[in-house]
Amino acid sequence: MSVSNHPKAYTSAALVVAFTAGICLTLGFKDLYPDLQRRFEQRKRSKNAALYGHRESSFLPPVELEDHTKPQTPGPDSPTPPTIQIGVEGLIGQTKLVRIKSLSEATGCEIVAKAELLNGAGNSPKDRVALHMIEVAEKEGLLTPYNGDTIYEGTVGSTGISLAVLARAKGYKCHICMPSDMSMEKVELLHHLGATVERVSPAPITSQDHFVNLARRRAEEHADKWMDGSKGFFANQFESKANWTAHFETTGPEVFEQTQGDIAAFVSGAGTGGTISGVACYLKQEVGLKDVSIVLADPQGSGLYNKVKFGVMYSSHEREGTRRRQQVDTMVEGIGINRLTNNFEKGMELIDDAIKVTDTQAMRMARWLVEKDGIFIGSSSAVNCVAAVSTALRLKKEGKGGRVVTVLCDSGNRHLSKFWKEIASQGLEEEHGNLGLLELLELES
C-alpha cells in the first residue's frame, strides 16, 4: 500500500518532516546569529565612519564600572595637581607687578613695582637667591639634606631669613652672622625660624670680625667642631654666582613677560648687586632691550653711586679701597655698600644711571605710600621708589616717558624698631597737608 493511497498518512509524514527541518534550521541559525550580528554592527560602524570622517574600532571596549560613592584619599605618591605647589619653595617667584597709582599720577609716567615682598618663603627677593644657592650647593655635593649639614651666612637680615626658612624646609640647620645694629625684628624672626644668630659689632670688610668674614670662618670650623660627618656650607651671597643667576633666570624673565617688553627703565638698589645685575643681563643681553635704562638706587653713605657716575668709589674725604669704618652711614638696611662684589661687577657696565637718595627722602616716601596707596614698605623699597620717581621725571624731560619698573623688597614690619621709629620721631607720620609728592621729596618736575 503506497502513501499516496492514504492522504492522512501523507499529511502526518509531511508535518513530521517540516517540524524536524524547523528544529534543525533553528539550531543552525542560533550558531550563525552571533557572526551575523557582528557583521551587521561592523557595516553600521563603517557607514558612520564614512559619514562623520573618523575611524572606529571593530570591537567595543569592555565597560568598567567605577564606585563614586566613596571619597578617594590621595597617597604620598599620588600625582599633584598643577594648582598645588609642593613645599614652601613652590611659593617663590611669579610675584605680581603692581601699578603704584599715586607715583604714576604725580610723574605722568607709569610706575610699576615687582612685589617681591609677596614671595612665600622669606617675603623678599632673597627667597630666589637663597633657594638657588641651596640647589646649586646640593648639585655640587656641598650640602646633603637631613645629614646635620649647616648653612652659614653673613647678612643684614633678609637673606638670612630666606635661608632660615628654606633650610628647615629642605633638611638643614642655619647659622646667621649679622651686625648688632640691625633692627630687632629681624633678629627675633631668625630665632623663631630656628636659626642660630650671632650678632657682632659693625666692622670694615678688611677686619676678620666683619660679619661676612665671621660666617666664612664658622663654616670652615664646622667639621672640626661637630665631628659627626656633617658639613658646613658658606652661602657667600655677595660673591656667589648663584645670586645674580637666580634673578637672570627668574626675576628678569618675569618682568619681561609681565610688561610684554614695554619697559623704559628698571630701577633697583644694590646690596650684593644680584638683583640689578641679573635683571640687567636678562633685559639687555638675553632679550636685547638695548634702549631700556638700568638705574641704580643708592642710599646716602654708599659708594656705588660714585662708582657708576664717576668711575671711582669715593666720598668727599675717602679714596677707593681705603674705607675702614662701618659699611654705610644710613638708616637704610639691605642696600648700599662701599666695595665692589662679583655680583655687582657682573652687570655694572650695563647700568646707565645712578640716583642718590637721602634718608629723609626715603622716610617721606615710605609715609607717602601708606597715606596715598596703603602700601607699607621697608627702607630699601622706599629708596627704590624715590629713585623710580626721579627716573620718571628725567624720562619725561627727555620727551621719552614710558613705563618705569622698580622693586618692593620687603614689608615695613621688619623695620618698625629702626626705620619706622625714626619716621615717627621726626614727626613724618603726620598728614602732609597740601604738599605734593615732588615738593615733599624736593624734586624738580
Torsion, Cα 385 386 392 393, to 10 degrees, reads 160
Indicate the length of the chain as a whole number: 445
* Residues identified as active-site: 126, 380
The three-state (H, E, C) secondary structure of the chain, written as one string: CCHHHCHHHHHHHHHHHHHHHHHHHHHHHHHHHHHHHHHHHHHHHHHHHHHHCCCCCCCCCCCCCCCCCCCCCCCCCCCCCCCCCCCHHHHCCCCCEEECHHHHHHHCCEEEEEEHHHCCCCCCCHHHHHHHHHHHHHHCCCCCCCCCCEEEEECCCHHHHHHHHHHHHHCCEEEEEEECCCCHHHHHHHHHCCCEEEEECCCCCCCCCCHHHHHHHHHHHHHHHHCCCCCEEECCCCCCHHHHHHHHHHHHHHHHHHHCCCCCEEEECCCCCHHHHHHHHHHHHHCCCCCCEEEEEEECCCCHHHHHHHCCCCECCECCCCCCCCCCCCCCCCCCCCCCCHHHHHHHHHCCEEEEECHHHHHHHHHHHHHHHCCCECHHHHHHHHHHHHHHHHHHHCCCCCEEEEEECCEHHHHCCCHHHHHHHCCCCCCCCCCCHHHHHCCCC
